[in-house]
Structure 1
Amino acid sequence: MKKKSALAALSLILSTGLVAGVAAPGAVAQEPAAAQVTAEVSEAGKATIKRDSYGVPHVYADTTRDLFYGYGYAVAEDRMFQLEMAKRAVLGTSAEVLGPDYVEIDKRSRASFDPEAIKAQIEALPQEDRDILEGYAAGFNERVGEVMANQEELLPKQFTDYGFEPTTWSGYDVAMIWVGTMANRFSDSAGELSNLQVLQQLTAEYGAEQGQLLFDQLQWTEDPTAPTTVPREDKKHPNKLAVDSPSQLSDLAEVSPELEDNGLASMKQFGGGDWPAVKPEASNLWIVGDKKSKEKGSILLNGPQFSWFNPSYVYGIGLHGAGFDVTGNTPFAHPTILFGTNKDISWGSTAGPLDVNDVYQEQLNPENPHEYRYDGEWRPMDVRTEKIEVAGQEPVEHQVYSTVHGYVTSFDAANNTAYSKKRSWAGTEIQSFMAWIKIMKAQNWEEYLEQAEKVGITINWYYADKEGNIGYVSPGKLPVRAEGHDPRLPAVGDGSMEWEGIRPFSENPKVYNPKQGYIVNWNNQSAAGFNAGSGNWSPVDRVNEIIERLEEKQKFTTDEIWDINEETSFADLNIRYFRPFLEEAVKTLPAKDSLVQDVRLLTEWDGQRRDGDDDGDLDGPQAAIMNTWLPILFETVLKDDLPASVFENYAQGSGLARPANGSKLVYNALLGEDAGVEQSVDFFNGADKQQVLLDTYRQALAQLAAEQGADRSAWSVPAPQHEFSYKNFIGVPQANAEENLTGPDYMNRGTQNDIVSLFGSEASMCTVAPPGQSGFIAPDGTKSEHYADQLQMYADFECKTENLYPQQLEANLESTTVLK
């Protein structure tokens, strides 16, 4: 059903091809538990690397240092340029080799961490833990040395094209890849300043009282009807602010229109979005346990949505020895497997939902803009001067300022204010990293939770085991905020709104073997009460696409769990919320009214946005109708009640990756008194809601007829395509520009997908991580045979069998390397 011809041509251009091992998830060969892994290391070698038919390395070693030495060496074989540029991106040294265009990126990266603090955390680790980082770096450096000694055959072509050489690594560099691509990307969001600017726009136009009512209707703190990963016990959870009074901001709260929010710019650099969706929203997951799997055990499917890149965002790896026996995929070849199994348990993750950061408004000394008011006196800001080397020009000095709360993200000189960001997880970065490494050895839920409690950053963790138990926990350090602190808005930085401690881990959202028999998440709310200041979650949520399918059957096979992935990947994320209102509205029309049949185009639509005939357009007129109707509906209902600059955030209606922002507001307005958020402002202005739906629908049909002709069956919209970007998520090249890949048709699914079945003594895993395992291009331009051999597989919703057992690996062995 995909554009196989285009992808076949792409494969031909890339000179790659599929190899044996493509599978449906339920077709994975399974072996008895007796086939235990042992460290198959040559007596003369540190580690042995065995690669399977897709180039996935399995590393065997006797000691922790040697195991990760082998890991680092294998990564350097496959992804040396990608990892070199990832290191530069997170450390802020991109401009050193790429020039002045990357200075601003480097500034934001350097302001996101304290090098000395990270180094101190590493130094405090026991040697066994440091062996992980140092061994990985040593293995990587071993391969760098080999490459530099034989550049004519081994140096990745991108280094020559960009005009610089690979650098050696330290344990600190290895740790910073994780800090920069996980902690800083997924645990650093804070939308308070953007919220404040919106509130000020609303109050400027409508006055303080009406502006506050509108703000509460746009940015609520709790909707008791929103789906949660920990099932709600009380569907009538009180809908009120999580604070007793509005935020006690001083008169200096006014924000200059020209203020540049460097905190928001940094957050966007690391994966955030535009207001109101400022939190990273990346990944879905569903698990069924013993109650809903047809065989005794568990099935876990994870689709982390990091966006799409070439080389792949994730790296496949197996680690065997020194207490580890794990296989799976992990972002940027972290020395831990984020999506994997040790055959006793499996685990996965999605972006963290907890509010672990606060923005503070600092009052500045009019006589000195680098002094701020705290505890009744002016205090000097701490300052760190960073020297950024720039290719082709003089170095640039950059000052990073901090207050007692954290890094200063913005200065508002016109109002003598600055904004700083306080992280509850500051100082726990390496502790969190090590906990994620150690879950690979966990054998049960208790051992898994033991590591989760050590995690300071916000993240969602999921668990399943061979006995059919399933669990969810949302780690992260949750601050106890001062009375009167509205978490949606900046806190006053004068010392009156300081945190009163950290909530105990026992209060973090978690659930084990829920009655429903499944756990599901698509970046929805974690649990009742955990919303204030961040998520803005509502019943209009893409997770309903998964929930509906899990509720349709009592028991699932592995194949049936995998099939949900395809169905949700093409689901229109808005129609389910408007369908019942359209059905009611059309009942008011005469049976002969032509609009009755036109409305049924949507109400009887299966909601799938596909290009089944490969003509380049989505099938049927429905996608075109939705894309045209929703913006008209949003404009009619919302535009007159919102300032133009605020309405812009709700104007678009396509909602490919998640429901349109405007759908949440209009759905609540349609519900009226039944909405989970109080509708103080009538967005319909007293008009008949059903008539508004019909009138705007007619307008959409008229617009389409004018643009595409009267034949409804011919209405269409182009099928969007995936782009596998040659730049990483920070915006730094990790390949050559010509390595940008386009296709297949857009699927709202994981950057990678993995499915793990654990049925007693049997374990199986199937994964797909396009474009391929290796990003290596030889000096003469020859690409690795595994450069893009998972791209067609991804398009066809297939996956490759992971070799969890030695016998499987030996049967699919491509190469063996012994590291001396």
Structure 2
Amino acid sequence: MQRRYRLIPRACAALTLLACAAFASTACVAADQAADRTPDQVAVPAGKITIKRDNYGVPHVYANDVRGLFYGFGYVVAEDRLFQMEMARRAVLGTVSEVMGPAYVALDKGSRSGFTPASIRAQMAALSADDKAIFDGYAAGFNARVNEVLKAQATLLPKQFSDAGFTPKADWTGYDVAMIWIGTMANRYSNVSSEVANLRLLDQLRKAKGEVAGRRLFDQIRWVEDPLAPTTVPRTVAPLKTASAPLDGNAVRLAPVSPELLSARNDIDAARRGVAEPWTRPIASNLWIAGPGKTTDGSTVFINGPQFNWFNPSYVFGIGLHGAGFDVTGNTPFAYPVVLFGTNGKIAWGATAGPLDVNDMYQEKLNPANPHEYLFNGAMRPMTKRTEVIRVKGQADESVDIYATTHGIVTNFDLPNGAAYTMKRSWDGYELESLLGWIHSMQATSWDQWLAQASRVAITINWYYSDTSGNIGYVSPGRLPIRPAAQDIRLPAVGDGSMEWLGIRPFSDNPRTFNPAQGYIANWNNQSAPGAVSDGGNYSVVDRVREFTARLEAKPRLTPDELWGLNRITAYADTNARYIVPFVLEATRGLAAGDPARRAAQLLADWNMLNDDPAERGVYDSPATTLMMHWLPILYKKVLADDLPPEVLAAYLDSGYAGDTQVASIRPGNGMKLIYNALLGATAGVPQTYDFFNGEDKNAVLRATLAQAMAELETRHGRDTATWRTPVVKHKFLTSNFIGAPQAGADELLTLPSFMNRGSQNDKMVLGARGVTLCTAAPPGQSGFIAPDGRKSAHYADQMSLFKDFGCKAEALTPAEVDRHTESTKQLTNN
């Protein structure tokens, strides 16, 4: 039975139970449950909230009504992350310029055009009283703390406000609370399409190679599905029919894309979603679950590494919520009113970025006489227009006109080609329903209950489940459109009314697996299930998830420590090596020991395929790292440069390693996918109708490029390969949020010695007959507070060493455990 927190005093319990013997009422049932309360449960008086913080500063909030529970949540967030949350709110609402000046006007314009305020407000107005209390309670608690700060600014106002020259306002509403989630989760990870970029690519290839060869090359580098690509739902299941086959029809009917348009769109998307390649699917987060048949002790081990990039303050917030039907502990990004990674003592859950195709770009044909009219169903229609006014510090207000068609908001006008592009999103109007499904999934105690809440989620996301009975499961929620057969999902749809969606698929069509025979579930943003494809996934046999699955499959059973140890190995694993090194060894077999290519092969053969610096000398431990980083761009250029136009080639020369500009996660380079398929030849999952090797011997190409890399490295470093070392890339904790708004002072940049390709935080949950344990690391620390005099909270960066050393801190999951680790206690009144 789920723990409850009730008000019935112990002194009254016996008398109430006597009355219950004669009168079987609902009140009697509540009294009976209260009398059965174990000594470690917490009773909180009506209208009161208790907050207990542990020795890492993580708050546990106790209340017995929904508004009070989330009031306490909002209050503790404002204590720990007031400046971060203020800037997150401004970033998603598009009001950064008001306090930071004209440099942020473009950011604000992009944010304003990413959502429709009237739709969100209508969804808020339709909430039930209990659900409304979640958002309003959170906002009221946040405002209560802001008022305390404003009354004692000399000691309580975070220094970042003074440095920026403004103070917070106690004007948060439930709408603001919802918009934090909509702007940083729904819009960041579901507002994605590669279709315009794909059309531009097709234009470039046809121009360079001709109509037939250009289309053949396009199909080879932007395929629909690679049947060899690893999937989270095992490929033994029947493929989902969620996408149409590629057709030439609508490609002929589409106008070309102006290159300036794509550059502008990429800049906007990069700012809005904080990604290096805005035309790709999100590439963040990993997860692996081993069921009881895969562990040596029969437990279930659930490990999640959500990768949002790394920031100071931390992207995630630790919290425990207890009462009013909730009993959950874990972490959640930007202090959403839901714990995305955690447990309620019966089940555990987590998430990674979703892979489903829930959006379509439509190319609208414009009226030559009026660019704000478009063709639909045989007639020109006027676009709707919304004008947003942006206040700018130190200068006059600016405004932005936001246009929309029947398909959605106009993202770009391409006037030279008489076109505009709009994004149709299957989740428009379902943002709050999606969030509420996530919130109430925290109350589930079984797979069926949890799955029912997943069915409410319209955005694309991956959800993972385990319980104390040994069950493990996965589902990928999201509203999947039914598209017309004539639509090539890689390209924009024709907006004239001929390619409208035919409906939404039933939730039963969504990818899922429950207790798979392999005994584990693993994901690193790979394809969700056979047949589940998208316009930008380009899911390939070359996929970093193999860093997990290969090791999970190497032993019949693993210990919980071995499973946690995968975190360290995969954080440093070279995600290219397992694909290319076997081909190198084969290509150089039989060469003389002194041959440059043979020497290169020996370096790679002796390598552990990790790019790490265990002694913290400031350089990667193996000369093979130096070789790989130098050789792969040479190989890619040699094989691809004569086939791809220069502007296309540039996207395939990145070798997939950490660089000075830190991204959320690294993966094999795009060029590796093409080269590996070319090396596989006829056995590749993607048909190789275009010969990238141009008839040359593949092994000869590998040997020649290796020899070139060796010669260049010898010139640079000398002949002794043992001295070939490459400086490590430091692991940075950025001071601006992913949208680009500052969330800390510029002097608050934190670093660790070397980049780790792992979660922004890590959870380890072990479940079994004895319950659940939870261990987490969420650097830098729980609190981002810096006092006006410059003194930092004791919990400002106290999780950095945990993270660096791949450790974690045990989380308290019961009131007794919380009490044993309580550092401070505070009482609030819910008003």
Partner of 2:471: 469
Decide whether aligned partners of structure 1 residues 487 and 651 sit closer, same or farther in structure 2, where only a CA change above 3 A counts.
Answer: same
Q: AA paired with 2:174?
A: G
Decide whether aligned partners of structure 1 residues 810 and 274 sit closer, same or farther in structure 2, where only a CA change above 3 A counts.
Answer: closer
Decide whether aligned partners of structure 1 residues 560 and 90 sit closer, same or farther in structure 2, where only a CA change above 3 A counts.
Answer: same
Q: AA paired with 1:362?
A: E
CA shift at 1:440, angstroms? 0.5
CA shift at 1:267, angstroms? 2.9
SS in 1 for 2:261: coil
2:205 to 178, 181, 202: 202
Distance (Å, rounded) in 2 between the aligned partners of 1:574 and 1:279? 19
SS in 2 for 1:330: strand
CA shift at 1:552, angstroms? 1.9
Distance (Å, rounded) in 2 between the aligned partners of 1:475 and 1:240? 13
State yes or no: 1:784 paired with 2:786.
no
Partner of 1:186: 189
Distance (Å, rounded) in 2 between the aligned partners of 1:648 and 1:55? 47
CA shift at 1:652, angstroms? 2.1
Q: AA paired with 1:617?
A: V
Q: How does 1:758-797 map to 2 (within 5 A)?
A: 758-797=767-806
SS in 1 for 2:621: coil
Distance (Å, rounded) in 2 between the aligned partners of 1:716 and 1:83? 42
Partner of 1:147: 149
Q: How does 1:637-648 map to 2 (within 5 A)?
A: 637-648=639-650
CA shift at 1:123, angstroms? 0.9
- Equivalent residues of 2:243, 2:531 under 8 A apart: no
- Deviations along 1:698-719, one digit per CA (max 9) or x if unpaired, are 1000010011111100001111
SS in 1 for 2:612: coil
State yes or no: 1:735 paired with 2:737.
no
Distance (Å, rounded) in 1 between the aligned partners of 2:257 and 2:166? 44
Gaps of at least 5 residues in structure 1 are 1-32
CA shift at 1:234, angstroms? 6.8
2:759 to 728, 742, 750: 750
SS in 2 for 1:253: coil
CA shift at 1:155, angstroms? 0.7
CA shift at 1:252, angstroms? 5.3
State yes or no: 1:170 paired with 2:173.
yes
Decide whether aligned partners of structure 1 residues 480 and 334 sit closer, same or farther in structure 2, where only a CA change above 3 A counts.
Answer: same
Distance (Å, rounded) in 1 between the aligned partners of 2:241 and 2:709? 35
Partner of 1:625: 627
Decide whether aligned partners of structure 1 residues 158 and 594 sit closer, same or farther in structure 2, where only a CA change above 3 A counts.
Answer: closer
Distance (Å, rounded) in 1 between the aligned partners of 2:581 and 2:507? 41
Partner of 2:310: 308
Distance (Å, rounded) in 2 between the aligned partners of 1:39 and 1:109? 43
- Equivalent residues of 2:352, 2:463 under 8 A apart: yes
Distance (Å, rounded) in 2 between the aligned partners of 1:664 and 1:355? 21
- Deviations along 1:482-506, one digit per CA (max 9) or x if unpaired, are 1210010011000000000011111
1:217 to 188, 211, 220: 220
State yes or no: 1:448 paired with 2:457.
no
Q: How does 1:159-558 map to 2 (within 5 A)?
A: 159-167=161-169, 168-233=171-236, 242-243=244-245, 245-249=247-251, 253-260=255-262, 263-271=265-273, 273=275, 278-558=280-560
SS in 2 for 1:716: coil
- Deviations along 1:748-771, one digit per CA (max 9) or x if unpaired, are 000000111111133110000100
- Deviations along 1:161-209, one digit per CA (max 9) or x if unpaired, are 1011112200000000000010000111100001111110100011010
Distance (Å, rounded) in 2 between the aligned partners of 1:367 and 1:493? 18
Q: AA paired with 1:287?
A: I
Q: How does 1:654-733 map to 2 (within 5 A)?
A: 654-656=656-658, 657-733=666-742
Decide whether aligned partners of structure 1 residues 147 and 376 sit closer, same or farther in structure 2, where only a CA change above 3 A counts.
Answer: same
State yes or no: 1:99 paired with 2:108.
no
Decide whether aligned partners of structure 1 residues 514 and 691 sit closer, same or farther in structure 2, where only a CA change above 3 A counts.
Answer: same
Partner of 2:568: 566
CA shift at 1:38, angstroms? 3.2
Distance (Å, rounded) in 1 between the aligned partners of 2:201 and 2:787? 51
CA shift at 1:592, angstroms? 5.9
Partner of 1:575: 577
Moved more, 82-91 or 259-268: 259-268
- Deviations along 1:666-685, one digit per CA (max 9) or x if unpaired, are 00000000000011110000
- Equivalent residues of 2:158, 2:787 under 8 A apart: yes
Decide whether aligned partners of structure 1 residues 428 and 391 sit closer, same or farther in structure 2, where only a CA change above 3 A counts.
Answer: same
Moved more, 474-483 or 251-260: 251-260
CA shift at 1:589, angstroms? 2.0
- Equivalent residues of 2:269, 2:278 under 8 A apart: no
Distance (Å, rounded) in 2 between the aligned partners of 1:302 and 1:707? 41
- Equivalent residues of 2:244, 2:483 under 8 A apart: no
Q: Which has the higher contact order (CA 8 A, sep 6+)?
A: 1
CA shift at 1:264, angstroms? 3.7
RMSD: 1.8
Distance (Å, rounded) in 1 between the aligned partners of 2:818 and 2:686? 54
Q: AA paired with 2:350?
A: G
Q: AA paired with 2:85?
A: L
Distance (Å, rounded) in 2 between the aligned partners of 1:597 and 1:225? 32
Distance (Å, rounded) in 1 between the aligned partners of 2:259 and 2:39? 64
User: What TM-score comes out, normalization by structure 1 length?
Assistant: 0.94
Q: AA paired with 1:531?
A: V
Decide whether aligned partners of structure 1 residues 576 and 260 sit closer, same or farther in structure 2, where only a CA change above 3 A counts.
Answer: closer
Distance (Å, rounded) in 2 between the aligned partners of 1:669 and 1:714? 33
Decide whether aligned partners of structure 1 residues 238 and 350 sit closer, same or farther in structure 2, where only a CA change above 3 A counts.
Answer: closer
Q: How does 1:64-83 map to 2 (within 5 A)?
A: 64-83=66-85
Q: AA paired with 1:550?
A: L
Q: How does 1:33-44 map to 2 (within 5 A)?
A: 38-41=41-44, 43=45
1:90 to 89, 92, 96: 92
- Deviations along 1:454-495, one digit per CA (max 9) or x if unpaired, are 100000000000011000000000001112100100110000
Moved more, 625-634 or 601-610: 601-610
CA shift at 1:266, angstroms? 3.7
State yes or no: 1:60 paired with 2:62.
yes
Distance (Å, rounded) in 2 between the aligned partners of 1:591 and 1:268? 48
Distance (Å, rounded) in 1 between the aligned partners of 2:631 and 2:451? 47
Partner of 1:20: none
CA shift at 1:580, angstroms? 1.5
- Equivalent residues of 2:197, 2:262 under 8 A apart: no
- Deviations along 1:97-154, one digit per CA (max 9) or x if unpaired, are 0011101101110111111100110110100000000000000000011110111111
Decide whether aligned partners of structure 1 residues 785 and 636 sit closer, same or farther in structure 2, where only a CA change above 3 A counts.
Answer: same
Q: How does 1:581-620 map to 2 (within 5 A)?
A: 581-590=583-592, 593=595, 595-620=597-622
User: Identity, % of aligned pairs?
Assistant: 55
- Equivalent residues of 1:39, 1:61 under 8 A apart: no
Q: AA paired with 1:193?
A: V
User: What TM-score comes out, normalization by structure 2 length?
Assistant: 0.92
Distance (Å, rounded) in 1 between the aligned partners of 2:456 and 2:66? 21
Distance (Å, rounded) in 1 between the aligned partners of 2:668 and 2:225? 18
- Equivalent residues of 1:35, 1:806 under 8 A apart: no
Distance (Å, rounded) in 2 between the aligned partners of 1:139 and 1:791? 29
- Deviations along 1:284-327, one digit per CA (max 9) or x if unpaired, are 00001121123334111000000000000000000000011100
Distance (Å, rounded) in 1 between the aligned partners of 2:309 and 2:568? 17
- Equivalent residues of 1:61, 1:321 under 8 A apart: yes
SS in 2 for 1:816: strand
Distance (Å, rounded) in 1 between the aligned partners of 2:243 and 2:399? 44
